[in-house]
Chains A and B, each alone.
Chain A
Amino acid sequence: MNTEIIGVVFMYLATIALAIPLGKYIAKVFKGEKTWLNLMAPLERFIFKFSGIDAHREMNWKQHLKALLTINVIWLFYAFFSLLFQGHLPLNPDNNPNQTPDLAFNTALSFLTNTNLQDYSGESGATYFTQHFVFMFLHFVSAATGLAAMMVVFKAMKEKTTEKLGNFWEFFLKSITRILLPISIVVAVILAFNGTPTSYKGKDTVIGLQGDTVHVSRGPAAAMIAIKQVGTNGGGWFGTNSAHPFENPNYLTNMVENISIILIPIALVFALGFYLNKKKLSWVIFGVMTIGFLIMLIPSITVEVGGNPAIAHMGISQPGGSMEGKEVRFGPAASAYWGITTTVTSNGSVNAMHDSMMPISGLAQMFDMMINAFYGGVGVGFLNFYIFIIIAVFISGLMVGRTPEFMGRKIEAREMKIASLIALLHPFIILVGTSLASYVLIHFPNINWGTKPSAWLNNPGFHGFTEMLYQYASSAANNGSGYAGLTANNIFWNVSTGLVIFVGRFLPIIGPVAIAGILASKKAVPESAGTLKTDTATFGIMIFAVIFIIAALSFFPALTLGPIAEHFSIK
C-alpha cells in the first residue's frame, strides 16, 4: 500500500477511534451527567439569565418546534440584511460590495440551513464582518439547531409515555458550549499553526520572483474553517474552499479537517446507543451506514487513482491519477475520500473540484446526497435515518403480519403518512428543480436574463446535465458542495436553489420530531415474542433495502442521463 492509501485508511480508523468516546461524552452531556466541561456551566447560566430563559422548563414536541422555528426566522432576517448592506458595514478591508438581493436571499438561507451553497467567492463576495458575524455565527447555531432537534427524538425514544421532551434552549446551548465550540478551538489552533491565516489584515500585494504582481487575499480564516468542518456546514472562507492552500495548507491539516467532517456524525450514532443504553442498536445503524459509505467510497477512490482514460490516450504518464481540479499535496485518494465524506455528511466543503472528477465519483457523490443518511449532517443525518427506520419497521411489520412497533410504540397511519411524505419530498424537490432548469435551458436558451440559460453550463453533454442535477441534490440535501462550473449567481439559480434549500431543511426536521413526539405520547406496548427486534442484523438489512429501493427507484433515471451515460461514453 502506498502512503496515499494508508493516509485514507488511517483517517477513517482515527475517526472511529475518536467517535466512540465522543459519542459517550455527548450522551453524558445530554443526560446531564458530570463531564470535565461542566466548567462551562457558569457561562451557560449567565447566557440563560441574560436571555430570560428557564432551561428547566420541559417542552412538548410542538413547543420545541415553535422555539426552533422562531429563532431561525430571526437569524434569516439578520443574515439577509447584513449581506445586503455588507459593503457599508465595518470589517471590510478589501472594500467588497453589497450582495445583490437574490444572492443575499440564497446565501442567507444557505447558511441558515447548514447548507452553505456559495454562489459568491469569499475573496470578493463577502466581508470579514459577514464571514464572522453571519457565516461563522450561523455555522455554530445551525449545527446546534440540528443537534437540538435530534435530541428531542433521542429523548422521545428514551422516555416512557410522556409529553415532556426536555428543553430546546438547553439542548441548543449545550450543543454549542460543550461540543461544537471546544472541538472547533482545537481544530482552529491546529490550522493556525500550519499556516492558515488568523489576523484581520486585508489583502497583501507582493511582486513574485518572476516579476508578476500578485494580490493575496487573507483574513481571520482559521476560526471559521474549524467550525465549518465540525458542524458539517462546509462554507469556507475562500472561494475554492479547502482546496485553497490557506484554507487547507498541508496533508496534516487535510487529515484534521477531514476527520472533523465525519467525526460528530459518526459520534452521534454511538451517542444514541449510550443515551438509550442500547449499544447494539447503535452498531446496527453504524453497520448500515458504513456499508453504504464504503459502497460509494471504494469505486470513487479507484477511478480517481486510476486516472482519466482520455488523458491516458494522449500517451503521457499519470502516476498521480486524475489530477485536474486536484491539489498535489492531497493527491487523488485523499481527494476522493474527502468527496465522499463531505457528501455523505451534508458537509459540502471540498478539497478538490468535484466538477472535474470522474463520472463514477460524481455518481457516488450525488447518490450520497440523494440518500443523505449515511452518517448524515450533524443531528439532521440521524433524523433522516429515523425516517428510514420508521418505514422499514412498517414494511417489516406488514411482511410478517404484525402491528409495526418501534421502541415499544405502535406505528400507525399518521406517523407513516408523515414519514412517507418526508421520504418522498427529497426526490421530489431535486427532480422537479432539475426538470425545470432543463426545460428552461432547452426552450429558452437565449431569454434576456442577466445570465442567459445557454451560458449556465461549463461543460457540454451529459456532464452539463450533471452540473444541474448536482446543484439541486446538493441544495435539497443541505450539502452545499457544487459542480462549480455551473454559473449559479443569477436570479434563476439563486432563487430556485434557495427555495429547495429551505424546504429541504425544515420539513425533514419537523417530520421526525413530530413522529417522535407523537410516538412518545402513546402507551408503551410491552415487548413480546412477536415484537420485531430492531437491533439485529436482519433489521439492518431491511433498513438498507428500504433506503436503497427508495433512492434507486427515485433517482436512477436521472442518474442515467448524467454520470452513468458519461461513464459509458469513456472510450
Chain B
Amino acid sequence: MKTYLLPSFKITIILIVILAGLYPLLIAGIGKFTPGHGDGETVTYKGRVVGYANIGQKFTKDNYFWSRPSAANYQADAGAGSNKGPLNPDYLKDVSARIDTFLKHNPDVTRAEVPAELVTASGSGLDPDLSPAAAKVQVPRIAKTRNIPAAELYKIISDNTERPVLGLFGPPTVNVLKMNVALDELKK
C-alpha cells in the first residue's frame, strides 16, 4: 500500500485544483455571456424584478393564470415533489378536493375538461410552465374577473407559447409568470 499512498495524495491534490477549482471557474466565466449572466434569468415588471423565468411561482388569485399545485408551496430554496404513490388514498382525496376547488372557481369548465396537470403536483414543486391547453381552460375565469375579451387572453397564451424543440421534439409549454406579467401589462 505504501508505494501508492504518496502518489495518491499528490494526484488527489492536483486534480482537486483542476476539477473542482479551475473547471467550474471556466464555466462561470463562459456563463457571464449567457442571457442571465450566470445568475439565473429574471423577469421584470415596471422595472422591478418579480421572479425568475425558470422558477415557478404560486398563483392562486382568480385574475391570474394559476400555476400547478406544488408540494413545496413554491419555496424556491426547498423544492420538492409530493412523492405520493399513484394509488395512495390520502393523495387521491387531495386530488379530488383540488378538482372541486377548480370547478368552483371556473364554473364555465366541465369536469371532463379539467386537465390533470392543474390538480397534480410537479416533481420540483417549482414547475414554471403549463401546457397551452391548461392555460386556455382558465381563460373564461380570467376574462370575467378582469373584464377583458377572451381574444386578448388567447393572444397572451400564444405569444408566450414555447414550441417543441425544432417543432419536433417534446411538448409545447407556456410560462405562467410571463403570461401573468403580460396580463398586468394590459391596459385596463
Contacts and interface: CB of A to CB of B under 8 A. Distances in A.
Interface of A: 3-4, 6-7, 10, 47, 50-53, 66-67, 70-71, 74-75, 78, 94, 121, 123-124, 132-133, 136-137, 140-141, 169, 173, 176, 181, 184-185, 188-189, 192-193, 195, 197-201, 203-204, 206-210, 212, 214-218, 220, 222-224, 226, 238-240, 243-246, 249-252, 254-255, 307-308, 310-311, 314-331, 334-335, 350-353, 355-359, 458-461, 463, 466, 483-485, 566, 569-570
A124 B78 contact: yes
B61 interface: yes
B28 A195 contact: no
Interface in B30-89: 30-32, 34-42, 45, 48-61, 64, 68, 74-89
A325 B82 contact: yes
Contacts of B134: 328
Nearest to A200: B28
B158 interface: no
Nearest to B167: A3
B120 interface: yes
Given A137-B16, A185-B23, A195 B36 contact: yes
Given A316-B116, A320-B116, A358-B86, A328 B79 contact: no
B123 interface: yes
Contacts of B51: 206, 208-209, 214
Residue of A208, A320, A352 with most chain B CB atoms under a 10 A cut-off = A208
Residue of A243, A321, A323 with most chain B CB atoms under a 10 A cut-off = A323
Given A197-B36, A210-B58, A251-B164, A459 B88 contact: yes
Closest 8 A/B residue pairs (Cβ): A198-B31, A485-B83, A251-B170, A243-B123, A463-B85, A7-B169, A198-B38, A353-B81
Interface stretch (B1-9, B138-146, B148-156): B1-9
Given A3-B170, A137-B15, A189-B27, 6 more contacts: A195-B34, A214-B75, A215-B75, A328-B173, A356-B81, A483-B83
A456 to B, nearest CB: 13
Nearest to B31: A198
A3 B168 contact: yes
Nearest to B16: A137
Interface size bracket, B side: 35 or more
12 contacts: A6-B168, A74-B5, A169-B11, A181-B23, A214-B55, A220-B27, A243-B81, A244-B126, A326-B123, A350-B123, A353-B83, A569-B87
Residue of A94, A192, A460 with most chain B CB atoms under a 10 A cut-off = A192
B30 A245 contact: no
B158 to A, nearest CB: 17
A314 B78 contact: no
Contacts of A255: 165, 169-170
Contacts of A318: 115-116
Given A209-B180, A311-B116, A123 B39 contact: no
Residue of B4, B45, B123 with most chain A CB atoms under a 10 A cut-off = B123
Nearest to A332: B171
B99 to A, nearest CB: 6
B157 interface: no
A251 B75 CA distance: 23
A103 B89 CA distance: 32
Contacts of A220: 24, 27-28, 31, 38
Given A214-B75, A216-B55, A328-B171, A316 B86 contact: no
Given A132-B24, A185-B26, A246-B40, A331 B170 contact: yes
Nearest to A203: B77
B112 A324 contact: no
B101 interface: no
Contacts of B167: 3
A210 B61 contact: yes
Contacts of B171: 3-4, 251, 320, 328-331
B34 A198 contact: yes
Nearest to B84: A356
A469 to B, nearest CB: 13
B39 A197 contact: yes
Interface string B92-122: 1001100100000000000111111101111
B60 A210 contact: yes
B85 A209 contact: no
B92 A50 contact: no
Contacts of B61: 210
B12 to A, nearest CB: 6
A238 B49 CA distance: 23
A70 B4 contact: yes
Nearest to A4: B171
Contact of B115 (A316, A353, A355): A316
Contact of A185 (B27, B87, B123): B27
Nearest to B102: A316
A245 B10 CA distance: 38
B78 A123 contact: yes
B64 to A, nearest CB: 7
Contacts of B159: none
Nearest to A180: B19
A329 B169 CA distance: 11
A334 B79 contact: no
B186 interface: no
Contacts of A181: 19, 23
